[in-house]
Amino acid sequence: MAAGTLYTYPENWRAFKALIAAQYSGAQVRVLSAPPHFHFGQTNRTPEFLRKFPAGKVPAFEGDDGFCVFESNAIAHYVSNEDLRGSTPEAAAQVVQWVSFADSDIVPPASTWVFPTLGIMHHNKQVCFGTWQRWGQLLYWRERCQ
């Protein structure tokens, strides 16, 4: 079972993937997301951090055994157990399929709706309308995959 430290910033929704996987799998994950232990934009640019994680991206995970991995899906996979990863090659492929589908087809439209309310980007009525149309297609495809 994986154990280690997750470096991120507070409320990073991408880090939640790893934390949820760890919780369901029983992995022991410490979170460093606030000063003095981690200061986003500073700690992740230090030579020590960059030696472990050359891209300087977070979330990043360092196992108690020294294994280092970044990118939320890779971290979630690493800290998860067989029940979450899939116990057969087919089940594992379906897990990867839906994780990839979420990242490529659900996150972008959801961001179009949520980010303006958070003040991260400006609201664009035309883009939001197109996103609603795309969302309908995605739900239709999802139902057909059952």
Q: What is the pLDDT of residue 101?
A: 86
The answer, yes or no, to whether residue 109 has pLDDT greater than 90, is no
Across the range 55-83, mean pLDDT stands at 97
* Residues facing residue 61 across a β-bridge: 6, 69
Q: What is the dihedral of CA 135, 138, 91, 82, to 10 degrees?
A: 0
Question: Both 94 and 76 in a single domain?
Answer: no
Tell me which of 43, 66, 84 is where a domain ends.
84
Q: For the chain, what is the domain count?
A: 2
Q: What is the pLDDT of residue 127?
A: 64
Kindly report the average pLDDT of the chain as a whole number: 88
Burial class from Cβ neighbours inside 10 Å (0-12, 13-18, 19+) for residue 88 reads exposed
Q: What are the backbone angles phi and psi of residue 47, rounded to the nearest 5°?
A: -55, -40
* Residues facing residue 31 across a β-bridge: 6
Across the range 87-108, mean pLDDT stands at 90
Q: What are the backbone angles phi and psi of residue 5, rounded to the nearest 5°?
A: -120, 130
Question: Both 64 and 109 in a single domain?
Answer: no
Counting other chains too, the contacts that 46-55 makes at CB distance below 8 Å and 24 or more residues apart are 49/7, 53/7
Across the range 12-33, mean pLDDT stands at 96
Cα–Cα separations (whole angstroms), residue 39 to 12, 59, 87, 125: 13, 13, 38, 36
Tell me which of 84, 113, 134 is where a domain ends.
84
pLDDT class of 132 with cuts at 50, 70, 90: low
Single-letter residue type at 41: G
**Element at 88 (helix H, strand E):** none
Report the percent of the chain where pLDDT is more than 70.
81
The answer, yes or no, to whether residue 30 has pLDDT greater than 90, is yes
Question: Both 67 and 115 in a single domain?
Answer: no
| C-beta separation of 49 from 43 below 8 A | yes
Range of 48's domain? 3-84
Question: Both 103 and 50 in a single domain?
Answer: no
Entry pTM: 0.81
Q: What is the pLDDT of residue 105?
A: 79
Report the percent of the chain where pLDDT is more than 90.
66
Q: What is the pLDDT of residue 137?
A: 72
